[in-house]
Each structure stands twice: as C-alpha cells, then as structure tokens.
Amino acid sequence: MSSSEEQAELIYQALDGYLNSLCLESLMHGLYTAVLLSGLSNMLFNKRGRNRLFMAAIIAVLYSFETVHLGVRWYWVRQAFIVNGDSRTAIFESFLSQDYQWMWAVSGVFASLNILIADCVLIWRAWVVWDRNYKIVVVPIIGAILEIIFDGFFLYQDIGHTSSTSLSNWGPDAVDWGTAYFTMSLITTVLSTCLVVFRIATMGRGASHAVSLRSYRGVIEIVIESAALYAVSLIIFLAFFIRDDPRSVYPQAILNTVTGIAPTLIVARVASGRARPDESWATNSSATVTSYFSRRSRGNDRISLPLNITMKTSTDVALDVINDSDLATWKVHGLPGDAASSRISH
C-alpha cells in the first residue's frame, strides 16, 4: 500500500471515528438523562434522605458539564462535515484547524472536571463506608491531587500544540501527560472501588443492614456503591489510549457518559435513603445489654442478679441462654457496632 493510500485510510478511520463516536455519546447521553431524572425524583420526593438539595446540585453540575462537552463536540463535528465538507481531506484538516482551538479547550476542561468530581465522589464514599477513617483514603486523595497536576500539563499540551511545536510539547520527545493523567485517575478509581467493595463484603456478615452478597440487592449494592462501571470503562479506554488506537474514541464516548452516571447513582442512592445508614458502618458503637440471671439454689430458691454489659457489636443482640443452672434473658438498649469487646459490671 502506497503512502497516499495509507494516509487516505487513516483519514477515513479518523472521520469515521469522529462521526460514530458522536452518535454513540449522544445515545449514552439519553440514557444518562433517564438516570438523572429517576435519581432526582427519588431524591426530592423521599423524605428519608440526607442533604438532598446539596447532592442534587452535585449531580446537576455533573450532568450540565457532560451536556456542554457533548454540545461542543456536536458543533465541532457539524462544522467539519457540513461547513467544511468539500472533501475528506478538507474535513480532516478542519478538525485540526487552529480556528477551533477553543473547542478543544472547552471540551477538555469540562471532561476533566467531570472525571475529577467523579473521583472525589468515589473517594468520599470510600471514606464514609470506612467509618470516616481518613487514613484509609490518604492514598486516593494523593492520587487525586497528582491527577489534577497531570491534567493541567495534559490540557496545556493538548490545547497548545501546533505543527511548529510538535517536538517540544507534543511529539516523540514530549512527556506523555495524557497517559500519566489517565493512569493516575485509574489508580485512584480502582483503589477507591476496591476499598468500597472490600468494606461491603467484610461488613456483609452479621450486620443488621446487610444483604447477602449472593442476592440481587447485594450485587446491585456493590456495583453502584463502588462505581464499578466507571472503573471498567476507564480501564478499557486507557487500554486503547496507550496504544494510540484510532478506535479509542468509542470507549472514550462511553467513558464521558459513565463518568457522570456512576457518581449520580451513588449520590442518588445515598440522598434518597436507599443506602445503608452511615451509622451502620461504624465500628465503635456501643450497646448496653441488661441481663437478669436467676440461679437456682439447693433449696430451689431463685436469686435475681441484674447485670449490665456494654458491648461493641455490629448487630442487634437477642440471646436466650438456658442450661441446668442458669437462665439469662438479654435485652438490647442501643444500636451496636462490631463485636470486638465487652465490659461487664454488676
């Protein structure tokens, strides 16, 4: 195949990807709209939720950012195919024209903001399910900070490159800030996802608000709370992006939408009261258990002895202990945390 034929094939693949990825992102945006409306209705009409207005504002901002990103790309593709569509070469050159540099800037900034917000929501959820333990989320927070730094360099590199600077900030001698940025975002996302999944799995046994991990509700809880769809989408996109595959525009179109859908599902689930109460993740809650032991004496007389026990447990306690010599009736006066220790006083 001659060089001209290879160039024509590359131009065809690029234009095909630009057009089809826009259609795919538009379809995904319609799905995103349905998820948003469902989440907002559950949040605003469910009185059990917490901080409903604040969380509704968060998912509204995410949706507006993705809508702006899609609108800019739509305008960009229309300008190339309709206004400058004399030939394939003219269309391709239109996508690279400096006249549309502002579109690269707006599209890139809003996509980056959505990714940052999504990562922050996931880190926040990991922090909540780990009983607000800051030590658990130190590494994801550091990853998010590095992600912001790398993204700044990547945006400057992507927006500012021209044919005259191809060897300085975009070329074989340049630092690949795009790969560094998406890799750091992937590390932050996967780590936060694993923290949430591990916490839900380990809290599944014996917790009063737990559901079986083998049940439908258990699977849904893990998928939504951990933003697993977002992590998978980012992994697939990065695999194409690193290889500079022209087909990377397809997983990128899905990622752009899932970046908004995943945190929307998390926030809507929490704000509508469908998630576990924050107190159920606590490990230091105490419960006071009062028992009355009745011991039979040799003369069959009963001696009642009140006994107070302070326990750390994650479950409601209801025990009936009966043997030949003792009879105990236990009554729980509190919502407990993990079974770790008990203090007996009488």
Distance in angstroms (rounded) separating the CA atoms of residues 197 and 207: 15
Q: How many angstroms from the chain centroid is the CA of residue 320?
A: 43
Per-residue pLDDT of the chain (346 residues; tens, 9 = 90+): 567 778 888 888 889 999 999 999 999 999 999 999 988 888 777 766 567 788 888 999 999 999 999 999 999 999 989 988 888 888 888 887 778 888 888 999 999 999 999 999 999 989 988 988 999 999 999 999 999 999 999 988 877 655 444 433 444 445 788 899 999 999 999 999 999 888 888 875 555 444 555 555 667 777 777 788 899 999 999 999 998 888 899 999 999 999 999 999 888 888 777 667 666 666 543 333 333 344 444 444 444 444 444 444 444 444 444 444 444 444 444 444 444 333 333 3
Task: Read off the amino acid at residue 55.
Answer: M
Domains of the chain: which residue ranges? 3-279, 286-345
Kindly give, in sequence order, each residue whose CB lies less than 8 Å from that of residue 188, ignoring residues fewer than 6 positions away: 119, 122, 123, 140, 143, 144, 147
- pLDDT per position as a tens digit, 158-217: 776 554 444 334 444 457 888 999 999 999 999 999 998 888 888 755 554 445 555 556
CATH of the structural domain 3-279, one choice from 1.20.1070, 3.30.310, 1.10.10, 2.40.50: 1.20.1070
Kindly give, in sequence order, each residue whose CB lies less than 8 Å from that of residue 277, ignoring residues fewer than 6 positions away: 209
**Beta strands in 21-172, from DSSP E residues, in sequence order:** none
Distance in angstroms (rounded) separating the CA atoms of residues 159 and 98: 10
Q: What are the φ and ψ backbone dihedral angles of 307, each rounded to 5 degrees? A: -140, 125
